[in-house]
């Protein structure tokens, strides 16, 4: 059995996610209520995430990125940049230009598609499928992937792969290197697969 990886400082990652979302909202000259109006949830749901009072799942992160008129991979790069203020050891994409190339290819065609609540559920299933497929392609057992992760146990991997639990953005950042991908690459795969499956 391989030794368990050192856990990532979770609060810093969650704070970095909220900080990147907040900074992107401010850069876009939008209020919290304006962004919330573009999302399929009550305004308080978005406001709590923007303020860092609630953790953000990967599907929520993707929808928030679109509501901010940002590519999810660009927003994830900003999260990693925010986090790098606390740690210089985070994995980042080698070539951010390649990651930005997916910006328009994976954007919903209209604001109406962002507010469709079934989209969030679809994205959640896609995250689970991508993680499961990349684990299998990498020839890792559930336990092997858990051992490579600093956050997940075998049961958590199983639950995430079969939709029994949501995957939060810091967990995506943690699990990507265990699958030999950068976080941006893993998120790009989720976006590509969700387009193939036609939201």
Q: List, for the chain, all residue ranges whose pLDDT scores fall below the cut of 70.
A: 1-11, 85-117, 195-199
Domain presence at residue 103: no
Residue 99 belongs to a domain: no
pLDDT, tens only, 133-180:
999 999 999 999 999 988 889 999 999 998 888 899 999 999 999 999
Q: Is residue 2 part of a domain?
A: no
Establish if 4 belongs to a structural domain. no
Q: What's the domain range around 42?
A: 10-89+116-196
137 is a domain residue = yes
3-state secondary structure of 153: coil
Is 31 within the bounds of a domain?
yes
Closest by CA to 184, choosing from 69, 117, 110, 106, is 106
**Domain with 56 in it: what CATH number?**
1.10.260.40
- The answer to the question of residue 100 being in a domain is no
Task: Name residue, tokens 């020839």.
Answer: 139
Give the Cα separation of 62 and 103 in Å (integer).
Answer: 12
Q: Closest by alpha carbon to 184, among 165, 198, 163, 169?
A: 169
Q: How confident is the model over 140-150, as pLDDT tens digits?
A: 999 999 999 88
Position 155 scores a pLDDT of 93
Which residues, including other chains, have CB under 8 Å from residue 100's CB and lie 6 or more apart? 71, 73, 74
The owner of tokens 């953005």 is 169
- Two tokens at 103? 């910006």
Chain centroid, CA 101 distance in Å: 18
CB half-sphere exposure, 95, CA atoms < 13 A: 4
Domain tally, the chain: 1
**pTM score, whole prediction:** 0.77
């Amino acid at each position: 059995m391989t030794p368990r990886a050192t856990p990532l400082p979770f609060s810093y990652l969650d704070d970095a996610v909220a900080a990147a979302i907040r900074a992107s909202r401010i850069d876009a000259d939008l209020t919290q209520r304006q962004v919330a109006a573009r999302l399929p949830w009550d305004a308080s749901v978005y406001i709590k995430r923007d303020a860092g009072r609630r953790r953000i799942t990967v599907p929520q992160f993707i929808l928030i990125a679109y509501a901010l008129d940002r590519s999810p991979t660009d927003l994830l790069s900003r999260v990693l940049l925010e986090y790098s203020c606390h740690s210089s050891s985070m994995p980042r994409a080698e070539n951010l230009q390649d990651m930005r190339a997916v910006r328009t290819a994976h954007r919903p065609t209209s604001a109406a598609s962002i507010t469709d609540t079934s989209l969030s559920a679809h994205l959640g299933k896609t995250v689970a499928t991508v993680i499961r497929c990349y684990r299998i392609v990498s020839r890792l057992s559930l336990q092997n992937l858990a051992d490579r992760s600093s956050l997940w146990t075998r049961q958590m991997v199983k639950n995430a792969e079969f939709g029994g639990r949501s995957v939060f953005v810091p967990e995506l950042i943690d699990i990507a290197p265990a699958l030999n991908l950068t976080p941006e690459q893993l998120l790009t795969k989720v976006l590509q697969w969700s387009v193939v499956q036609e939201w």
